[in-house]
Amino acid sequence: MNNIINSTGPAQRPARTIHQEPAPTIYLDYAATSPIDPRVLEKMLPFLSNEGYGYANPASSHAYGKKVAEAIEEARSQVAKLLNVNPATILWTSGATESNNLSLKGVAHFYQRFGKHIITCQTEHPSILDTAAQLSREGFEITYLKPNSQGLIELQHLQAALRPDTILVSIMHVNNETGIIQDIGAIGSLTREREIFLHVDATQSVGKIPIDLQTLPVDLMSFSAHKIYGPKGIGGLYLNDNPRVRLIPQMHGGGQERALRAGTLATHQIVGMGKAFELANAEMDKESRQMLHFRDKLWTGICNLPGVHLNGHPEHRAPGILNVRFETLEKEKVLQHLTRLAFSSASACVSTTTETSHVLRAMGLKNELAHRSFRFSFGRFTTDEDIDTAIDLLTSSPT
């Protein structure tokens, strides 16, 4: 809302009205979604235009179709390069929600004759938890591991939960609320020993921390474009070909994506995602140092306030996320004071509900403390001035 200020000029002159623009919003919600990088947008635009060949269907056998198909395969290679895998192991989907659904339901339905037990964790994203709940209604048995108070899965709990009829373990790489990084290497060693498939939701880690699927023992990996400066509504799924993972498709139709995910390819989004992954690959080292700097600067600026605590493990954390609880503050008052800051007072995926975070509660936080927890997340366009302003606002918050 604009502030309207009436000047106190001479009586005979008409009152002058000055429209003061509100101070700009400071965006600290990169874990919810990121702005599109202008270089990504530039790559996408010809595929949204009627000039040239960009509008063609990549499945068409004419020259225009072939050109677009080439652009799709270039994007697949860009995605594959970031993960160090063969491009043929990457499937396009509409985002990580779909990749998670396809992984869990696809594996469960294909391998159910070998067992109906699946293991996941209480702190997963709703697109895993709700899919697991659906599978449980279909007769699958789900074990939900409880993390320790710092958000990490204890390996001995996973080891104890593995059974002869376990067909799949699904564990997220970086948690979207706390930034906690699970030890996927160690988890994967346990699942590989027993020939159980491991699915990893890497939506918050891809492009932000290094991932090398030649060394990481993962069989399926979900990811999305819009967390790393690409467009929304496009994502991918890595499917290991050795050992080969088989899936029952959830979408049937024209046989696209090896008939595992039918539907005309979203060409503009796919080329945008390819570019976003290429940029992430080139800039990850520099960016992760920058995000670490912002995260630590914000934390240093507020950590001495009374009742302020970090949620989650102090070290096993991705650089771009800071989850903090303000134990003595009144949340509603603080939120009113912080309207200039765009951050998350719950995970974006559940912030339309008044429920407190299932992630923080699984880590043992009482409801009222989970309710007073905020997530700040940083990215490519964050500046030092943004963090300075955030510190000023937070340190002057009403109690």
User: What residues line the site for ligand PMP (CB under 6 A)?
Assistant: 95-97, 125, 127, 172, 176, 201, 203-204, 224, 235, 349
- Cβ atoms 268, 49 nearer than 8 A: no
CA–CA distance, 359 with 350 (Å, rounded to integer): 11
Query: The tokens of 189 are what?
Result: 């060693």
Q: Give the pairing of strands 220-224 and 197-201.
A: parallel
Closest CA to 19 of 6, 32, 31, 38: 6
- CA distances in angstroms from 97 to 17, 128, 192, 201, 341, listed in the order given: 49, 8, 25, 9, 27
**Is 106 or 235 the residue whose CB approaches ligand PMP more closely?**
235
Q: What angle do CA 102, 70, 260 make, to 5 degrees?
A: 20
Query: Which token pair is 18?
Result: 């000055």
Smallest separation (angstroms) from ligand PMP to the CB of 199:
12
Q: How far is residue 13's CA from residue 16's CA, in Å, rounded to a whole number? A: 8
Q: How far apart are CA 370 and CA 349, in angstroms?
A: 16
Q: Least Å distance between CB 63 and ligand PMP?
A: 33
Residues taking part in catalysis: 349
Rounded least distance, CB 128 to ligand PMP, Å = 7
The CA distance from 57 to 37, in Å, is 25
- How are strands ordered across the β-sheet holding 308-310? 308-310, 321-326, 373-377
Q: What is the DSSP letter of 154?
A: P
**Smaller CB separation from ligand PMP, 125 or 313:** 125
Q: Which residue is nearest to ligand PMP (CB)?
A: 95
| Minimum distance of ligand PMP from residue 173's CB (angstroms) | 8
Instruction: Kindly tell me the burial class for residue 35, based on how many C-beta atoms sit within 10 Å of its own C-beta (0-12, 13-18, 19 or more).
Output: middle
Residue 73, classified by CB atoms within 10 Å of its CB into exposed (0-12), middle (13-18) or buried (19+), is middle
Q: Considering beta carbons, is residue 204 or 382 the nearer one to ligand PMP?
A: 204
Q: What separation in angstroms does the CA of 149 have from each of 154, 176, 228, 310?
A: 11, 16, 29, 12
- Least separation in angstroms between CB 310 and ligand PMP: 20
**Nearest alpha-carbon partner for 236 in 95, 68, 127:** 95
Which of residues 37 and 201 has its CB atom nearest to ligand PMP in the complex?
Answer: 201
Residue 255 contacts residue 263 (beta carbons within 8 Å) = no
Q: Which is nearer to ligand PMP, 179 or 249 (CB)?
A: 179
